[in-house]
Chain A
Amino acid sequence: MLSIKDLHASVEGKEILKGLNLEVKKGEVHAIMGPNGSGKSTLASVLAGREDYEVTQGSVILDNQDLLDLEPHERAAEGLFLAFQYPVEIPGVSNINFLKTAINNIREYHGEEPMTAKDFLKLVKEKQKLVELSGQLASRSVNEGFSGGEKKRNEIFQMAMLNPKLAILDETDSGLDIDALRIVANGVNELRSKDNGFIVITHYQRLLDYIVPDVVHVLYKGKIVKSGPKELAMELEEKGYDWLKESELA
């Protein structure tokens, strides 16, 4: 479904991603781990189409569609979703209003009619329950005055509303207490299906107890240096990354 080949990307003239390869098939969950500064958020930003990042080489294909040719909103319409590591607050823009616009813009992209108000509200109710987000929070300004945990739950709520083909979760677990972590993980597990895929970026093995990955990758200095089954995550938790650095140097 998602195929990343030899991806090189730089920011402010500095190369961060240095030939990254990754294949995610339908129905799979891939975890990406790696030390701070290795390029995990950069990968997420490049996939979502953030402006400051320049792709110098390589390709990103999502279901036969070259994502790098598309604008951010077109990538979303093609089924890509990024849950931000640091969700922004947007005062005055209502969460619900903006989601309605997003859903209808995506439907328009596919030549579909806008969703009826009734169907939309039904969807909101259903998905709100999934992430245990109160109706009050859902209808407030986007992330404004939300706690860290509420912001992350709002990301998952939006993901549930948009029902993407491929979702990237960038450290959605960091800063969450165990209850919030369980809620976020539940949300993801409910949405998992044979038709979609997830890339879960995390520092901690504990999230992977709840969202069990099919493959674990280690990203180091802009490249995937090791991939393995879910047990790799536990090994990393135990040994850290140093042994990999040595083997990479070797």
Chain B
Amino acid sequence: MSNTTAISKKDAFIANFMKRPKADLSSNHQSIREEALQALTILDLPTSRDEYWKYTRLTSITKQEYHHIEVKLDALQDEWKVEGLEANLMVFANGYYQPHLSNIIDQNVSILTLDQARIEAYDVVDKHFDQYVNAQNEIFTALNTAFNHTGVFVHVSKNEVVEHPIHIIDVVQGESALVVPRNLFVVDQSAKAQIIHSIVSNGGEKAFVNGVSEIVVGENASVEYQMIQTIGDTNQQIQTTQVTQANNSKFTTGAFTFNGQLVRNNLNILVEGTGCETHLNGVYLLDGKMHVDNHSVVDHLMPHCESNENYKGVITDKATGVFNGKVFVRPDAQKINAFQSNQNILLSDDATINSKPELEIYADDVKCSHGSTTGQLNQEGLFYLESRGVKPQEARKLMINAFADEALSEVGVDTLKEKLEVMIADRCQQF
């Protein structure tokens, strides 16, 4: 009996995805799609009994009905852009490409919609698309693979450098929009790219964004991928980012979450090469009843690598933060330096954090450390500032700001860093 209701709940949820007409695909991509559909017949909606979803209940996402709302945006709002930054712009609204608002400056790189790329860069898409994510075990990834709209495709060829950062703006609009973006970034040997990904709301309500990005970092390549989530108070997002790193590559990423009813980020980094450097950062500033969950995996397969993870949260009201960071150091991965930290400040009695940093080490010559702290604002520090004439709310702001800003050290685009500093300061104002 309970089994049949569970199935029908799942089917009702999946039916939302099926409402949108499917694009014609090449036989190869069609078969990937078929496989994902096949997986969906077996996979169930997660419950809190699933370890991977233990602290995040998904009923707020799965019980709703969604629509595919095609929109044409009139203009970009200034606050969605990065002031002073000249960027290659790719704009989408509810998953629909907005060519009139997009603008590609750099010609030495292909920046296309995934739809276009399926035709114009068929070989690269064919080689990499869906090769890294796990649609067989993960229902939201399977849903994305089976039903993705379009998304951004970036291919930087060997030795090329993308001079201007690529800024993707995903806009959510309307009532109960279902948005299923799929991105693929391939950065070849000794090439370099910086990608900024903003998810914003244009008065959107009750939307669900189920996004997947695959990032391929070639040998000796350098990729920076920074995600800014200002998705709006009633919208929800599950974002899966799958990264693979080849020898001597560098990958830097950040997840900066400012609002959203429920946000779950799955970040999986497979460090397949030797001599790699990996930086993962995050800031989440939560109030009201927000729920933000960051799950990350760094899997070190090979020796002589370094990974650095630093997530910081400020949580107030009845909001909840979840952090789960796993670092694997496999038997062949000697001489690894892995550092992992999650720090939280709770500003109210009802604020919650579930923090679980984990190390699994199977090699013996490694330097690893991990830690998690949860506390209040330093009272001694506050008194010190106030005793010098700083107003109490300004003192709080200075301290919260200082705490969160520490996670910005790896943001390589200066104008973005400045924007994030201002966004954090503005957000702290509300605490």
Chain A contacts to B: CB under 8 angstroms: 48-51, 71-73, 75-77, 81-82, 84, 87-88, 90-93, 97-99, 101-103, 105-106, 109, 141-142, 158, 162
Contact B386 A90 (CB under 8 A): no
Residues of chain B with a CB closer than 8 A to A73's CB:
386-392, 395
* B398 CB, min distance to chain A CBs, angstroms: 5
Contact B398 A76 (CB under 8 A): no
* Smallest CB gap from A87: residue in B: B384
A sample of 11 cross-chain residue pairs with beta-carbon separation below 8 angstroms, ordered by A number, consists of A73-B388, A73-B390, A73-B392, A81-B387, A84-B384, A88-B380, A88-B381, A91-B406, A92-B405, A102-B388, A106-B389
Determine if B126 is an interface residue (Cβ-Cβ < 8 Å): no
Contact A50 B383 (CB under 8 A): yes
Contact A76 B387 (CB under 8 A): yes
Determine if B83 is an interface residue (Cβ-Cβ < 8 Å): no
* B393 CB, min distance to chain A CBs, angstroms: 10
Please list the 10 inter-chain residue pairs (A to B) with the smallest Cβ-Cβ separation, ordered nearest first: A92-B402, A76-B389, A106-B389, A102-B389, A72-B386, A102-B388, A93-B402, A90-B381, A73-B386, A88-B380
Q: Report how far A51 CA is from B387 CA in the complex, Å.
A: 11
* A111 CB, min distance to chain B CBs, angstroms: 15
Q: Report how far A87 CA is from B381 CA in the complex, Å.
A: 9
Q: Report how far A179 CA is from B297 CA in the complex, Å.
A: 53
Tell whether A51 pairs with B383 under 8 Å between CB atoms, given A73-B391, A98-B388, A99-B388: yes
Kindly identify which residue among B385, B389, B392 contacts A90, using a CB–CB cutoff of 8 Å.
B385
Q: Which of B397-427 contact A (CB under 8 A)?
A: 398-399, 401-403, 405-406
Q: Report how far A50 CA is from B382 CA in the complex, Å.
A: 11
Determine if B348 is an interface residue (Cβ-Cβ < 8 Å): no
Q: Report how far A101 CA is from B398 CA in the complex, Å.
A: 9
Contact A102 B385 (CB under 8 A): yes
Kindly identify which residue among B383, B384, B386, B389 contacts A142, using a CB–CB cutoff of 8 Å.
B384
Q: Report how far A72 CA is from B383 CA in the complex, Å.
A: 8
B370-384 near A? 1/0 per residue, CB < 8 Å: 000000001111011
B18-50 near A? 1/0 per residue, CB < 8 Å: 000000000000000000000000000000000
Determine if B365 is an interface residue (Cβ-Cβ < 8 Å): no
* B145 CB, min distance to chain A CBs, angstroms: 42
* A100 CB, min distance to chain B CBs, angstroms: 10
* B388 CB, min distance to chain A CBs, angstroms: 4
Residues of chain B with a CB closer than 8 A to A71's CB:
386, 392
* Smallest CB gap from A82: residue in B: B387
Contact B391 A92 (CB under 8 A): no
Q: Report how far A1 CA is from B386 CA in the complex, Å.
A: 22
Determine if B120 is an interface residue (Cβ-Cβ < 8 Å): no
* Smallest CB gap from A107: residue in B: B389
* A125 CB, min distance to chain B CBs, angstroms: 19
* Smallest CB gap from B385: residue in A: A98
Q: Report how far A28 CA is from B64 CA in the complex, Å.
A: 73
Residues of chain B with a CB closer than 8 A to A81's CB:
387-388
Determine if B394 is an interface residue (Cβ-Cβ < 8 Å): yes
